[in-house]
Amino acid sequence: AEAELIRVQRFESLAMLAGGLSHDLRNLLQPLLLAGDSLLDYQDDPRLARLGALVRDCGRRGIEMVQSMLSFARGARRAEQVRARALVDALALLLQGSVPRSVHLDIEVADAELAFEGNHTELQQCLLNLCLNAIQAMPQGGVLRVVTSRVHLDGGFFEDGEEALPGDFARLSVTDTGQGMSEEVRKRLFEPFFTTKEGGTGLGLLSCRRIVASHGGVMRLDSILGEGSCFDIYIPLTRPVVDASERGEVDAGLHGN
Ligand code: ADP
């Protein structure tokens, strides 16, 4: 199970890297292609024309590679009915063997019927990331608690100023009694490659946030240094899921060309 977890995490990190890279590469390649095309205009200088053709062909091949990287990064994402119960059941299975004896795993499904539109695999990956972080934050042992419930928010603002839309939400919470986070760590948490762990990727939480955002949801953190941390994911029950191809970060700029 440990090996499988590492494999899934590696894949997820790779997909994120591929997504980010393809986007940047595409922006680089586009002007290169244009430059190649302009060089082709110099037909009376065969050397320039040859160079133009070379630049253009390489540019095109590059764009094709970028396209396939992008579809890899997107994966076969599709919207489906996600059942909270199935989500935590799958999570419990994945965690088997990764929870040390000293950590007590406590799972609660407050609303057995809770379901919403989204992507099961992505959310499972997200919860798994949070749980593994939680376990790593409790080297001395403690309690890892996963709770899913249905909540109603009247709107307004979270403490950090993020807007909460009124409506019904599925709340997925992962709480640990671990080391908690300093102000400094809390600020930098979602930065790509920010990690305090030897061998950490610093991509886990960023990836979680992207997954939650693609569900139209928000992620909240409460953490007290020395006492523990709690990540709450709020996913709207009503709002339709944003399709992967419309997710801005991965492929902004792809449309309309
Ligand atoms: P990684 O786990 O590879 O370091 P993440 O993006 O998942 O990358 O986490 C970034 C950092 O946030 C971690 O290195 C750690 O310092 C901090 N962190 C994340 N989750 C927790 C947690 N539950 N308790 C304490 N610190 C945490």
Is there an atom of ligand 1 within 6 Å of 144 CB? no
Atom of ligand 1 nearest to the CA of 194: 10
Closest CA to 142 of 97, 112, 88, 180: 180
| pLDDT of the chain, 257 residues: tens digit per residue | 677 777 777 777 777 777 777 778 888 888 888 888 888 888 888 888 888 888 888 888 888 888 777 766 665 456 789 999 999 999 999 898 889 999 999 999 999 899 998 888 889 989 999 999 999 999 999 999 999 999 998 877 776 667 777 889 999 999 999 999 999 999 999 888 899 999 888 888 988 988 888 888 889 999 999 999 999 999 999 754 444 444 443 333 333 33
181 CA from centroid of ligand 1 (Å): 9
Residue 89: per-residue pLDDT: 94
231 CA from centroid of ligand 1 (Å): 11
Is there an atom of ligand 1 within 6 Å of 16 CB? no
Nearest residue by C-alpha to atom 8 in ligand 1: 202
Is there an atom of ligand 1 within 6 Å of 178 CB? yes
Which positions ≥6 away from 210 have C-beta within 8 Å?
16, 247, 249
Residue 219 · residue 201 · CB < 8 Å: no
Is there an atom of ligand 1 within 6 Å of 141 CB? no
Is there an atom of ligand 1 within 6 Å of 20 CB? no
222 CA from centroid of ligand 1 (Å): 13
219 CA from centroid of ligand 1 (Å): 14
Residue 253: per-residue pLDDT: 33
Which positions ≥6 away from 239 have C-beta within 8 Å?
167, 216
**Structure tokens that stand for 202 in this block:** 């610093």
Atom of ligand 1 nearest to the CA of 202: 8
List Cα–Cα distances, 84 to 15, 89, 115, 192, 193, in angstroms: 25, 9, 6, 28, 30
List Cα–Cα distances, 189 to 46, 99, 107, 149, 181, in angstroms: 54, 23, 25, 25, 9
Nearest residue by C-alpha to atom 17 in ligand 1: 189
Residue 243: per-residue pLDDT: 44
Is there an atom of ligand 1 within 6 Å of 196 CB? yes
Closest CA to 88 of 122, 143, 128, 135: 128
* Residue whose token pair is 């890297």: 17
Closest CA to 124 of 161, 86, 158: 86
Which positions ≥6 away from 230 have C-beta within 8 Å?
173, 174, 175, 176, 221, 222, 223
Reported ipTM:
0.98
Atom of ligand 1 nearest to the CA of 231: 23
Is there an atom of ligand 1 within 6 Å of 131 CB? no
Residue 21: per-residue pLDDT: 79
Q: Is the pTM of this model over 0.80?
A: no
Is there an atom of ligand 1 within 6 Å of 190 CB? no
